[in-house]
Structure 1
Amino acid sequence: MFVPTIYQPEIDSKVQKVTIENSKLHHLKKVLRIKDYDRVNVSNGTGQLFLGQLVNDNVEINSLKNYERKESLTVFVPYLREKNRFRFMIEKLVELGVTRLFIGKTQNTQNTNIDYEKIQSWAISALEQSGTPFFPQIVTTESIDYSIFDTCFDLTGSSFTKDSPKLNTFAIGPEGGWSPEELSNFKYIYKISDFSLRTETAAISAVSLML
């Protein structure tokens, strides 16, 4: 049975009642048809899931579940100009439990502004839809930091399979590929296919292999 989840990052384990902002309350009642005493969960994004029920436009907390991440994953992905594909990638990476998500530009990324607030709203939507207790740290950047990311995926790399040692930190390149200059800055280069993959396909596949 689907139980809706609300993201409230400021709450802690002592909370007994959570006030819901008007827009989310409207969504619960008018879209999801949630009524008083129906189950509603609240996630603070740090591994705590508060189980409760809707009562007089608030969520009264009945119990708390604590979760620990199975893997700590830090991933760089390039900005995608096509909004629907970009949103799909962000949402799936949140659902899969990425710990830190860096979003930036590469030499083959089309020049455009990165809307942090929009990305944040997509990520929150993914958390609330999936019910995950974890919310990633999202960092937008103008360029990749090679002191953090020394490993990337590219068609020129060695094959990475489900039997390969797991990676905790890696970068996904744009569909045009990394430039030779960018590739020279990585210590390790792998590939997950012999053929070109869309950026969102490569990102989701790579993260799935690490879980």
Structure 2
Amino acid sequence: MRHIPHLHVPGPWEGADLSVSDDHSRHLRKILRLGDGADLSYTDGAGTTGRGTLQGDLIVRGSESLIDRPEPAVAVAVAPPRTPGRVRFVVEKLAELGIDRIYWLATRHGEGRPPRSDKAIAWARAALEQSRGAWLLGFEGPIGVEDLPESSTLWVAERESQPPPSVVNGGILVIGPEAGFAEGEVPAAACRIALGTRVLRVETAAVAGATLLLDRSGRLAP
């Protein structure tokens, strides 16, 4: 099957054409060696997607549709790992999976720091394009666990717990720092779940737990 590039073009969109960024233009022309008339797909990252063609530094807009935000909502609250490369891995993989939002946690034992906003958004945009998604990953924080939305179920990953139920209604997966949460840092009402018997790195736990929560929320079904 012929590969059709998928581009994130932030809205609002006006007119019959969309401007292609310099980075996109270089990639399309020099790496993919596409010429005028090549087919493209595109999204505004807020649910609207379309199919168009490349003309110069423009996308000629074609048929477009609005894709509803997936439900139920699934987010990940995570204490940033210690190194930038591991933080980037968290962002890219959660964006590819289709997680709705990352909450960066400020914890007493945490040793990492959240990435700069522009870096995180750039990583999320690249992952959105790679995975051909329609909704761009959002970010909040740093915040404490106690400041996470009260309307969402908190699923706190703890090795000495039980796996989550076979069916859940979304929620927020909570991944602490490698040294663990301090006593009293996690609300008593939070649900504790196990992600297996092994000790996982922060980024591994985030991806494994997010996949499990998406699956049991029905978000991975075709």
Counterparts in 2 of 1:144 and 1:183: CA distance versus 1, 3 Å: closer
SS at match of 1:49: strand
Q: Choose the corresponding residue for 1:159, options 163, 179, 187.
A: 163
Segments of 5+ residues of structure 2 without an aligned counterpart are none
Runs of 4+ in 1 over 6 A off after TM superposition: none
**Letter of the 2:77 counterpart:** F
**Letter of the 1:68 counterpart:** D
C-alpha separation in 2, matches of 1:15 and 1:172: 44
Can you list the C-alpha shifts for 1:125-174, whole angstroms capped at 9, x where unaligned?
A: 1112222111022113143344526431112332226x243432231222
C-alpha separation in 2, matches of 1:184 and 1:207: 20
C-alpha separation in 1, matches of 2:131 and 2:148: 33
Segments of 5+ residues of structure 1 without an aligned counterpart are none
C-alpha separation in 2, matches of 1:167 and 1:196: 24
Q: In angstroms, what is the RMSD of aligned CA positions?
A: 2.2
Q: Is the 8 A contact 1:175 1:196 kept in 2?
A: no
C-alpha separation in 2, matches of 1:159 and 1:64: 41
C-alpha separation in 2, matches of 1:145 and 1:116: 23
**Letter of the 2:30 counterpart:** K
What are the residue-to-residue correspondences of 1:59-98 with 2, within 5 Å? 59-71=59-71, 72-98=73-99
C-alpha separation in 2, matches of 1:140 and 1:2: 37
Q: TM-score, normalised by structure 1?
A: 0.87
Residue identity (%) = 24
Counterparts in 2 of 1:111 and 1:131: CA distance versus 1, 3 Å: closer
Higher strand share: 1
**Letter of the 1:118 counterpart:** K
Counterparts in 2 of 1:89 and 1:113: CA distance versus 1, 3 Å: closer
Which residue matches 1:194? 197
Equivalent pairs counted in the alignment come to: 209
Query: 2:108 aligned with 1:104, yes or no?
Result: no
SS at match of 1:25: helix
C-alpha separation in 2, matches of 1:164 and 1:191: 15
